[in-house]
Amino acid sequence: MRKKVAIVGASGYTGSELARFLLHHPLVEIMMITSETHEGKPFSSLHPQFAGQLDMPLVSAQKVADEDLDIVFLALPHGVSMNFVKQWADKSFKIVDLSGDFRLKNAEVYQEWYKKDHIYQEGFDSAVYGLPELHRDEIVKSKLVANPGCYPTTSTLGVAPLVAEDLIDVTSIIIDAKSGITGAGIKPSLTTHFSNVNDNFKAYGVKSHRHTIEIEEQLGFLKQADVRVQFTPHLLPVDRGILATSYSTPKNGMTQEKLDDLYKTFYHDKPFVRVREDLPTLKDVRGSNYCDIHPVWDERTNRIMVFSAIDNLVKGAAGQAIQNMNLMIGADETTGLLLNPLKP
């Protein structure tokens, strides 16, 4: 019998991508999609690419509690998801939350970095960070999964083997990352206006981007120690995709052969991480749930450089959420996700 799922929050890119994958997933059935602003409209009126395929009317999120559901995806803004997680805490369905509301270790850290009050500390106590490559066993048993951010997914997967094996100085990791414009969400702003993005390139969130602490916490989990990351994001004039470059200093001797062996061994049983023989590009992963990684040893500067690429809307959001769902329902984590990247 197919699992019954709901998508809460239909208007954004994440809601659209969840629908794209779930619509053809062999083990689930979309029972409802919600929107408070567009209640009553067909889903396909917001996302015309679904015309004739997914025309179901949008409903209020309050109807979720009345349905016999197995999985609920929260594709909502930061600061909103926590209200529904608290409201539905006694329900039997499992939740994959794609906001940042439960990604960090507690409410105090959340409030410091997100500049918002948090109303549900209990959620932090039960939530599992949804990066399957690091937390697969915990995700399988979880009722609440905090889906990672797109930048932290790319960055953490790029550096994780080095930290896990205690091969680098974790007090001076530098991560330089670039994202397509969809990472800013669907709502227009001065920053995302076409004339400001097209034929342009800029850094933002310097020293204070809230994904910094998410990366530090996850790498710290691997080492059981404090990790310090200099993280700087940049905005690319492209629709989708993230390319992150990390720089770190080895503690002892390093060679390219040793680096290659490390990454191939660490990710040998991780189906969505591809350790590449050449530098990854955005078009190598676009539309797919893959993270492509290429590590490089520079003997001249005594530095390790790691290049990692994902589609921010798939492995950085909706695809990873479905990968987590698969684990939560006892399915193979690749189910419904083995789509080839879109190239050209």
**Of the candidates 99, 114, 94, 58, the residue with the CA atom closest to the CA atom of residue 330:** 94
Interatomic CA distance for residues 272 and 134, integer angstroms: 12
Give first-to-last CA distance, the chain, whole Å.
Answer: 37
Interatomic CA distance for residues 233 and 296, integer angstroms: 21
145-178: b (≥16 Cβ within 10 Å) or e: bbbbbbbbbbbbbbbbbbbeeebbebeebebbbb
Interatomic CA distance for residues 287 and 70, integer angstroms: 26
**Please, which residues bridge with residue 71 across strands?**
5, 94
Catalytic: 150? Answer: yes
Prior bond of 152 cis (ω within 30°) = no
Kindly state the tokens that stand for 198.
């097209």
Interatomic CA distance for residues 65 and 49, integer angstroms: 29
Q: Which of 22, 150, 317, 325 is catalytic?
A: 150
- Catalytic residues, which ones? 150
